[in-house]
């Protein structure tokens, strides 16, 4: 990922009364506006912030939804709370306090260390297609309202062109209205039209690498969700070609299914849903008619290039996001870094290179390590003895509640995205962990599994 | 546990932090109220009542001193735990992250200053009254 380098460093501070345009009202855009206004107020600067977002997040289904699993990680829940953003109970469809790992027809539950609800499962819009509009509160609407409560103006039209006039970015919307700004922030997500706007601006922006995922909402009813899924997120390690990772997330009367892999398609999703492990998590009476909403969004798996220039910066998925996990956390970090840079340093390309770029670059580096970890998970999917060893070690840790549940913590951190991948890698390379894991592998190869606390679930 | 609430549910009267213990977490009230109670061995003094969005236990993140008071749930309260390590790591990455904590600490100091002034003022008044009574009695 490169930045355009200015031949001489010129800083453009955001003066009192400056106008900022945020294109995209999802988490990255709303949080950028929120932090710009919050920090500006602290330092006694007034800003005019416009958020261009044509979607009505209060509606239901894919047309209103920004399509993701809808998980706010453990670390992000805490970070937002410290920033003064407490997720209200009506927003959180389910507080998650554990993970259940399913593999080889078996399952093991991994609990949070502190026995409290620290992961939030929620909807991005007002719920799946069949939900009653307005009944379910969504994250995107909450964050957009939060930004507006500080003075941001929600412009409910789309932007059709961004150009420059007298060195300032000029934004033209679908109604033909034109307005110049001191700063334009791109927060459009993985969106072809949005990306084209910034290419036409002369940013030399290059799109991120993406892959297709699958997200489905199953209407199971509250009782079934409680009975079959509880307050756990269910994750699956299965040997299916093209399959990387999948999760089923309880959310009130619904369950969200997310399937990640190498360009996921309908055939892979069908194969996944038909496995014994998945069928064991759903009622026996479950039928395809209960899939009330589905989409196959593309996600960012490799950072974009040239994500800033004079008076223009890109945040969130549109630029760089965490690999497979904690996308909303990455949106928060890039949004905050953008706001801090703009207010305390300036909005020239060089300002962003010196003070903003380190944040997306840190995420990119961590993603590289994450790719190594996910590449390593390939061996676990393919080699039964590795899976058995991992499973046995986790089960024993959870049964005996050892003071150093090393495997449980590694799996927890991988599943939740709560810690950087470099911390997971470091935990995995610790001699104490490796030596114990090797012993479990030897035991697994020898076929000894008597001391584990496995719960075998077979479809009757 | 309650669907939709982040954190842990503490029943009425249950202690979240205990005076004298060394802590490594701070807490943010999500729902309900908690009481901050100081004990001098003989009596318990309620110093303050905190509600949603209020932070407590934050001093443990910056010092290694024992908890200066007990905090317990008043009726049922839901409280989110903030890990020290995660907090300090984030502050290192982004110093402005600590702003809200500093703001609440400043507000707490202001309240304490007002309380001390009020107590000192009351003390001076009673001493003056005593002296006046003595003089008039002479």
ipTM of the complex: 0.82
Q: Rounded mean pLDDT of chain B?
A: 86
CB nearest B6 (choices: A82, A115, A117): A117
How many contacts, defined by CB atoms under 8 Å, are there between A and B? 87
Contact A77 B80 (CB under 8 A): yes
Q: How many Å apart are CA B100 and CA B94, to the nearest integer?
A: 13
Within an 8 Å CB–CB cutoff, is residue A402 touching chain B? no
* pLDDT at residue number A357: 96
Helix axes A327-344, A74-82, angle to 10 degrees: 30
Within an 8 Å CB–CB cutoff, is residue B62 touching chain A? no
Q: Which residues of B101-134 are buried (b: 16+ CB within 10 A; e: fewer)?
A: beebeeebeeeeeeeeeeeeeeeeeeeeeeeeee
Q: What is the pLDDT of residues B24-48, one digit of tens each?
A: 899 999 999 999 999 988 899 998 9
Contact A93 B4 (CB under 8 A): yes
* DSSP per-residue codes, A322-355: -SSS-HHHHHHHHHHHHHHHHHHT-SSHHHHHHH
Contact A118 B87 (CB under 8 A): no
Pair type for strands A178-180 and A168-173: antiparallel
The backbone torsions φ and ψ at residue A379, rounded to the nearest 5 degrees and listed phi first, read -65, -35
Within an 8 Å CB–CB cutoff, is residue B10 touching chain A? no
pLDDT band at B136 (very low <50, low <70, confident <90, very high): low
* pLDDT at residue number A147: 97
Interface residue of B2, B5, B6, B87 to substitute, partner A, most A CBs within 10 Å: B6
Q: How many Å apart are CA A271 and CA A263, to the nearest integer?
A: 14
The backbone torsions φ and ψ at residue A50, rounded to the nearest 5 degrees and listed phi first, read -110, 130
* pLDDT at residue number A115: 64
Of the candidate ranges A3-12, B25-34, B57-66, B116-125, the one whose mean pLDDT is the lowest: A3-12
Check if the beta carbon of residue A126 is closer than 8 Å to that of residue A136.
yes
Q: Which of the following CATH numbers is that of domain B1-83: 1.20.120.1200, 1.10.10.10, 2.60.120.10, 1.10.10.60?
A: 2.60.120.10
Q: How many Å apart are CA A380 and CA B3, to the nearest integer?
A: 34
* pLDDT at residue number A177: 95
Give Cβ neighbours of residue A352 (< 8 Å, ≥ 6 apart): A3, A308, A313, A338, A341
Q: How many Å apart are CA A76 and CA A419, to the nearest integer?
A: 10
Within an 8 Å CB–CB cutoff, is residue A436 touching chain B? no
Query: What is the CATH topology of the domain spanning A18-67+138-210+300-367?
Result: FAD/NAD(P)-binding domain (3.50.50)
Q: Starting from the edge strand earliest in sequence, which strands make up the sheet with A183-186, in order?
A: A153-155, A47-52, A18-23, A183-186, A312-314, A308-309
Check if the beta carbon of residue A104 is closer than 8 Å to that of residue A384.
yes
Instruction: Write out chain A residues lying below 8 Å of B2, CB-based.
Output: 89, 95, 117
* pLDDT at residue number A8: 59
In angstroms, the Cα distances linking A282 to A98, A202, A231, A234, A287 are: 18, 50, 14, 11, 10
In angstroms, the Cα distances linking A416 to A118, A285, A324, A332, A386 are: 10, 30, 10, 16, 21
The structural domains of chain B, with segments of one domain joined by +, span 1-83, 94-138
A158 to chain B, closest Cα gap in Å? 32
Q: Which residues of B23-34 are buried (b: 16+ CB within 10 A; e: fewer)?
A: bebbbbbbbbeb
The structural domains of chain A, with segments of one domain joined by +, span 18-67+138-210+300-367, 92-122+214-296, 383-451
A95 to chain B, closest Cα gap in Å? 5
- One digit per residue, the tens of pLDDT, for chain A of length 460 reads 444 444 456 788 899 999 999 999 999 999 999 999 999 999 999 999 999 999 988 888 777 777 788 889 888 999 999 999 988 888 999 988 899 999 988 999 988 766 676 889 999 888 888 888 778 889 999 999 999 999 999 999 999 999 999 889 999 999 999 999 999 999 999 988 888 898 888 778 888 999 999 999 999 999 999 999 999 999 998 888 888 889 999 999 999 999 998 889 999 999 999 999 999 999 999 998 999 888 898 889 887 999 999 999 999 999 999 998 899 999 999 999 999 999 999 999 999 999 999 999 999 999 999 999 988 888 888 888 999 999 999 999 888 876 678 898 898 888 888 889 999 999 999 999 999 999 999 998 887 444 444 444 433 3
Contact A90 B4 (CB under 8 A): yes
Question: What is the pTM assigned to this prediction?
Answer: 0.89
Contact A83 B100 (CB under 8 A): yes
Within an 8 Å CB–CB cutoff, is residue B56 touching chain A? no
């Amino acid at each position: 990922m490169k930045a355009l380098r200015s031949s001489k460093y010129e800083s453009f501070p955001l003066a009192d009364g400056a106008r900022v345009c945020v294109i995209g009202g999802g988490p990255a855009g709303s949080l950028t506006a929120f932090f710009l206004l919050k920090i500006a107020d602290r330092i006694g600067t007034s800003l005019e912030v416009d958020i261009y977002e044509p979607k009505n997040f209060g509606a239901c289904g894919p047309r209103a939804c920004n399509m993701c699993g809808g998980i706010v990680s453990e670390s992000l829940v805490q970070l937002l709370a410290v920033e003064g953003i407490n997720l209200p109970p009506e927003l959180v469809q389910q507080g998650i306090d554990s993970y259940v790992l399913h593999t080889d027809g078996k399952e093991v539950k991994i609990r949070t260390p502190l026995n409290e609800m620290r992961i939030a499962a929620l909807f991005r819009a007002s719920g799946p297609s069949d939900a009653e509009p307005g009944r379910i509160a969504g994250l995107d609407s909450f964050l957009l309202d939060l930004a507006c409560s500080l003075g941001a103006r929600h412009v409910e039209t789309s932007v059709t062109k961004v150009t420059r006039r007298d060195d300032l970015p000029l934004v033209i919307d679908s109604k033909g209205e034109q307005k110049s700004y001191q700063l334009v922030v791109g927060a459009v997500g993985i969106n072809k039209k949005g990306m084209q706007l910034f290419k036409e601006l002369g940013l030399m922006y290059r799109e991120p690498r993406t892959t297709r995922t699958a997200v489905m909402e199953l209407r199971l009813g509250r009782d079934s969700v409680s009975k079959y899924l509880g307050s756990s997120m269910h994750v699956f390690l299965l040997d299916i070609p093209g399959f990387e990772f999948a999760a089923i997330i309880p959310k009130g009367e619904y369950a969200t299914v997310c399937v990640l892999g190498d360009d996921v398609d309908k055939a892979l999703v069908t194969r996944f849903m038909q496995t014994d492990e998945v069928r064991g998590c759903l009622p026996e009476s479950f039928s395809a008619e209960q899939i009330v909403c589905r989409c196959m969004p593309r996600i960012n798996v490799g950072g974009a290039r040239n994500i800033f220039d004079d008076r223009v910066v890109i945040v969130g998925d549109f630029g760089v996001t965490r690999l497979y996990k904690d996308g909303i956390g990455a949106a928060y970090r890039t949004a905050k870094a953008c706001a801090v840079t703009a207010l305390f340093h300036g909005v020239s390309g060089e300002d962003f290179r010196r003070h903003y770029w380190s944040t997306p670059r840190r995420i990119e580096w961590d993603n590289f390590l994450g790719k190594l970890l996910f590449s390593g998970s390939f061996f676990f999917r393919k080699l039964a003895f590795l899976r058995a060893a991992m499973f046995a070690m986790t089960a024993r840790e959870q049964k005996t509640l050892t003071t150093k549940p090393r495997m449980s913590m590694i799996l927890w951190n991988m599943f939740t995205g709560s810690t950087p991948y470099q911390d997971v890698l470091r935990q995995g390379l610790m001699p104490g962990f490796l030596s114990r894991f090797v012993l479990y592998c030897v035991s697994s190869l020898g076929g000894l599994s008597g001391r584990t606390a496995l719960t075998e679930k077979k479809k009757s | 546990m309650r669907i939709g609430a982040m954190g842990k549910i503490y029943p009425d009267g249950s202690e979240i932090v205990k005076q004298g213990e060394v802590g490594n977490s701070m807490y943010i009230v999500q729902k309900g109220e908690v009481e901050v109670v100081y004990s001098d061995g003989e009596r318990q003094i309620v110093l303050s009542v905190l509600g949603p969005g209020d932070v407590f236990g934050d001093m443990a993140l910056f010092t290694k001193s024992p908890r200066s008071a007990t905090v317990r749930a008043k009726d049922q309260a839901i409280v989110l735990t903030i890990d020290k390590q995660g907090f300090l790591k984030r502050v290192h990455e982004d110093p402005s992250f600590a702003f809200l904590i500093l703001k609440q600490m400043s507000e707490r100091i202001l309240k304490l200053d007002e309380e001390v002034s009020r107590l000192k003022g009351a003390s001076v008044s009673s001493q003056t009254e005593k002296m006046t009574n003595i003089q008039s009695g002479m």
